[in-house]
Structure 1
Amino acid sequence: MSAVTLLSAEPKYAGALSAWLTAHQDSSGLTSTYSLEIVSMPEIILATLNARYWHAAFGLRYLLANMGPLQDKTEILEFGINDDSIEMLSRILADNPRIVGLGVYIWNVEPLTRLVAELKRVRPETIVVLGGPEVSYEAQGQAIVELADHVISGEADLAFPRLCTELLSGTSQPEKFIAAAVPPLDQIKLPYDLYTDEDITQRVIYVEASRGCPFTCEFCLSALEIPVRTFAVEDFLAAMQQLLDRGVRQFKFVDRTFNLNLRFSQAILQFFLDRYDPALFLHFEMIPDRLPDSLRELIQQFPPGALQFEIGVQTFNDDVGELISRRQDNDKLAKNFRFLREETGVHVHADLIVGLPGESVESFAAGFDRLVALDPQEIQVGLLKRLRGTPIVRHDEPYDMVYSPHAPYEILSTGLIDFEEIHQLRRFSRYWDLVSNSGNFVQTRKLLWSDGQSPYQVFRQLSEWLFATENRAHGISLQRLAELLFQFLTEELGRPEDVVAQNIWADYTRGGRSDRPAFLRRFDLPSVGKKRGRSSALPSRQSRHVEV
């Protein structure tokens, strides 16, 4: 028997053909020879452009999970920001969808604008619906918004399915701009069963236990999401158990303030502690000055590298913090950092921002030195971005804030820091990431400055020397960077060659490398030891920071 496959987005057509075949069975014998397989094609495509392949589109999975009766008519397509727009367009239109929903973010708005423009030229009748933070505020006037049919601002978990139902039924003509009401979390279906086996083995698995933020930091979109809501703890933990059963061991929590609701955060930590195995890795965003004893006791029970805390310090300047409505107790922050570094195995990723209104280079440098002294494994030096909708714009005139008009809208200059200085700090950030944050030079980095020296000043010197030597901040191989560090430490800072060589070799071989760079061959160096077992189960970057 042969099969006839009917591809259709309209079930009524499949039904009509099936009825016709039945009616003609006796006269033609067709149905005794052929079977009919009806394959429904999606009417709705959900798509976005991820910054990296290993990033999974968490928001799209939430939308698909909550499509209700339309779920079987909906498909997710994920692309990368460097993918060819025509190839993406071909995949999106292959099934002739009636609605295309796109997640728009700061990192993909420009290539998505081109994609939508091409889509509307080729298939103008296709309905384009936009959502995401980049179009949720200050939407009017954006090129991508002008091209689209509808824009949903805010959390679209329930608003998008409702809009699609209206559009497909044709019973009404919705407005172009739709402000989604804040959805009660008990009405939202969790999306975790939509992670595929490929996602689990190859991509970051995002989860969230809560939404919203109680703080009003003016540079952050979370300042506009004051209500903090938590999912039902039983439902959330049941979903986490299902992910564990499927083999997930690395979880990235996207909650803005994981340690705000202590009862919930304790329950989550205890849940994972009870199910711990050496491959477990949990990432949380934490409030820096809130770490009570009940959390400390749980945190201490996790082995080194199992937990990563992303802690937004942003600035140590109290006046700047007050100016941007960010209030934190820096003494408590320092106490908590010392606890995490001295009494736990937590991997601490701390954030500092360059270019905040009222912050000078000297103020930033003092804050950087203060943070280095607290010894987090990573310090992410980021440039201030003028995100759409954030109240940071109220400082533009009094503090001469100048931002790039193009995404990601980074600061170009302020009244206290000129463009060239900002640009040099951008290079500083890149080299710090290569040398320090990467974990490739954990021991060597300690040779850069001695007691009483400013880490900022020494690393600024290294940064400018590296750029003068290489004339680039990207594409430097690990072996070449090791050689450059050896040269800088011995020739520019006068450190003993043997000491520098021993430290660089220890760093170079920590991950199991055995090749000896040419510049180290004249030194008497130890043979390569075995790679450590525990850290091999961790993400590579965090693994390199685990103490020997």
Structure 2
Amino acid sequence: MKILLTAINSKFIHSNLAVRYLKTFTEDLNYQGIIREFSINDKIERILEEIIKEKPDVVAFSTYIWNLEYVERLTELIKRVDRNIEILFGGPEVTYDSKLFLEEHNGNYVISGEGEKTYRDFVLFKLGEKDIKDIKGLYYKENEKVFFNGERPLMDMSEIVFPYKENDNTIHDKIVYYEASRGCPFSCKYCLSSTIHGVRFLPADRVKKELQFFMDNKVKLVKFVDRTFNCNHKFSMDIWSFLINSDTNTRFHFEISADILTEEELKLLSTAPKGRFQFEVGVQTTDNKVLNNINRFVNFNEIKEKVEEMMKLKNIHQHLDLIAGLPDEDYETFKKSFNDVYEIRPEKVQLGFLKLLKGSLMRDESEKWGMEYSPYPPYEILRTSVLSYDEVIKLKKVEEMVDKYYNSEKFYNILNFFVNMFETPFDFYYELGMFFEEKGYFNRNIGNVEYYKVFVDFYTEKLNGEHLSELKEIIKFDYLSFNKKKWLPDFLNRTITKEEEKNIMLEYKEIYASKRYHVEKFSIDIMKYVKNNEIVQKDKYIIFNEENSEEIIEVN
């Protein structure tokens, strides 16, 4: 008996934790459990071919908001090719309306809620060792009627089997997901974690042993899926201390609640090697009334205080999240939220849009707040009583500009040049987004060089263009910091002579002998601009390390 555990990930770089859990939880049973991972960017015909080629008895899909429609189409194709292949669905997208989903879809079974124990019982059923009527948490179809044997109690975390193995070669080039706890102590209305009360933890010693596995295997990024990692002070201190004192290049990503960080935790975090941790902080909005509307009983100033303390440490990469479309937050209020967060200048500002997930309290209250949302995954907000559809579209333009330019961290000095020319940061990103719209850039792919040249066109066509030559020098610096050094786009000037380059190479011959470096001449004191945002006309030579964008040498 063969079950194909199938993951349709949102990107190639992602991996799927759920299917690995299911496989390892049943590895002692006498059946074939095969994992196949794809992405929604793969051609559906290719995935269909790969699935049919495996000749499975059952295809099990892990479903999420980003892949449900894809999985539905794929399921229909599988059944048309071979009606005898059974389909098992699991995951958050089928957990809250499982009966209706199975009635309306061309599948056979749905696992509702946590999947490990239900899946194990399902395998035993397929092996003839268990009656399907005794399987808690499983919806099943017989003669087109759907049956359910009741919910399954939450499992003890210590029963979970570590899902990664030494011979799993796929984890080295992917984001590896890991969880040390399940549940969340908070009750945010838009989040499914609010529907399950309490938090369950793995033993800290076990967590440390499993994290050591990732470090030993030189995994690049481990992303904790814990909803609020620092909700247990003793636990988070223990794990962070272990990782801080480890000799590794692995980076660890945590979702945290900044407002509950303690001084003891901040003191410990100050000792972390630079780049070891990245924190995702769910700000969502800086309006305290709106925060209360979503059951987040916290003051933005408390979040800001802790985030700024971490910024001063200069060793932790921070992602601050905002959500547009929250109850009673209008366009101007959201604009203020954006500017408040941007003022902190975290490494990333992640601007998302409210998704009214199945089973969430927010969906239940949608009428109260005049919310219209897409009935199709990912159930994104279309408008509210105080935020029009046109305003949502404007915010989407801003989001694209912020994600491409600010979050890439490759245009830092160029953005500083422009932001200071507008009343607020939001105004700049909005105007840049409108310029993209006007030029049709949202409707076609533009190349890497064009993303830089946009600023020249934007400056000359929409602003006064008075300091165009200085802007080009700033663009040249940011471009050379992250792109090939030996070549410059046509719209940028390379003025250094071979004689000047030769003299600098001789003066710095020790470094030129050991690494690949490139020297460039600027007509402004570019490092003074980088450090102080001040433009001074002065020839300046900069040496770039072609293999390390962070190493920049100022020639005296």
Both proteins in one fold, TM over 0.5: yes
Q: Does 1:467 pair with 2:437?
A: yes
Q: Report the Cα distance in structure 1 between the residues aligned to 2:80 and 2:114, rounded to whole angstroms.
A: 29
Aligned 8 A contact 2:484 2:546 in 1: no
Q: Does 1:117 pair with 2:76?
A: yes
Aligned 8 A contact 2:215 2:250 in 1: no
The Cα offsets for residues 227-249 of structure 1, whole Å up to 9 and x where unpaired, read as: 21110111121112122222224
Q: Report the Cα distance in structure 2 between the residues aligned to 1:88 and 1:533, rounded to whole angstroms.
A: 37
Q: Does 1:530 pair with 2:544?
A: yes
Aligned 8 A contact 2:121 2:130 in 1: no
Match of 1:166 in 2: 125
- Deviation of 1:453 after TM superposition, in Å, equals 2.3
Q: Report the Cα distance in structure 2 between the residues aligned to 1:144 and 1:344, rounded to whole angstroms.
A: 53
Give the one of 104, 126, 142 matched to 2:63: 104
- Deviation of 1:100 after TM superposition, in Å, equals 2.0
SS at match of 2:543: coil
Q: Report the Cα distance in structure 2 between the residues aligned to 1:317 and 1:487, rounded to whole angstroms.
A: 36
2:414 alignment partner AA: T
Q: Does 1:297 pair with 2:267?
A: yes
Q: Report the Cα distance in structure 2 between the residues aligned to 1:477 and 1:87, rounded to whole angstroms.
A: 28
SS at match of 2:214: helix
Distance change (3 Å), C-alpha of 1:71 and 1:268:
farther
- Deviation of 1:399 after TM superposition, in Å, equals 2.3
Distance change (3 Å), C-alpha of 1:96 and 1:487:
closer
Aligned 8 A contact 1:351 1:379 in 2: yes
Match of 1:449 in 2: 419
Q: Does 1:184 pair with 2:156?
A: yes
Q: Report the Cα distance in structure 2 between the residues aligned to 1:451 and 1:85, rounded to whole angstroms.
A: 47
- Deviation of 1:198 after TM superposition, in Å, equals 3.1
Aligned 8 A contact 1:305 1:535 in 2: no
Q: Does 1:517 pair with 2:493?
A: no
Q: Report the Cα distance in structure 1 between the residues aligned to 2:265 and 2:444, rounded to whole angstroms.
A: 40
Aligned 8 A contact 2:102 2:108 in 1: no
Q: Report the Cα distance in structure 1 between the residues aligned to 2:167 and 2:199, rounded to whole angstroms.
A: 26
Higher relative contact order (Cα pairs below 8 Å, separated by 6+ residues): 1
- Deviation of 1:145 after TM superposition, in Å, equals 5.7
| Percentage of matched positions with identical amino acids | 29
Matched positions, count: 495
The Cα offsets for residues 186-215 of structure 1, whole Å up to 9 and x where unpaired, read as: 111111227712322x11111111111111
Aligned 8 A contact 1:512 1:530 in 2: no
Aligned 8 A contact 1:386 1:393 in 2: yes
Distance change (3 Å), C-alpha of 1:66 and 1:531:
same
2:373 alignment partner AA: Y
Match of 1:89 in 2: 48
Match of 1:275 in 2: 246
Aligned 8 A contact 2:221 2:250 in 1: yes
Match of 1:230 in 2: 201
**How large is the RMSD of aligned CA atoms in angstroms?**
2.4
1:210 alignment partner AA: S
For structure 2, list consecutive stretches of 5 or more residues without a partner in the other structure: 134-138, 141-147, 496-520, 523-539
Distance change (3 Å), C-alpha of 1:229 and 1:68:
same
Q: Does 1:318 pair with 2:288?
A: yes
- Deviation of 1:512 after TM superposition, in Å, equals 4.6
Q: Does 1:214 pair with 2:214?
A: no
Distance change (3 Å), C-alpha of 1:309 and 1:533:
farther
The Cα offsets for residues 58-100 of structure 1, whole Å up to 9 and x where unpaired, read as: 1110111101432752111111213333432333233432222
Match of 2:373 in 1: 403
Aligned 8 A contact 2:87 2:107 in 1: yes
The Cα offsets for residues 414-443 of structure 1, whole Å up to 9 and x where unpaired, read as: 121221221121121011111111112011
Q: Report the Cα distance in structure 1 between the residues aligned to 2:236 and 2:444, rounded to whole angstroms.
A: 39
Aligned 8 A contact 2:281 2:319 in 1: yes
- Deviation of 1:332 after TM superposition, in Å, equals 1.5
Q: Report the Cα distance in structure 1 between the residues aligned to 2:103 and 2:68, rounded to whole angstroms.
A: 8
Match of 2:507 in 1: none
Aligned 8 A contact 2:488 2:494 in 1: no
Q: Equivalent residues in 2 for 1:114-153 (5 A)?
A: 114-142=73-101, 146-153=105-112
Match of 1:21 in 2: none
Aligned 8 A contact 1:152 1:179 in 2: no
Q: Equivalent residues in 2 for 1:15-54 (5 A)?
A: 43-54=2-13
Distance change (3 Å), C-alpha of 1:120 and 1:144:
farther
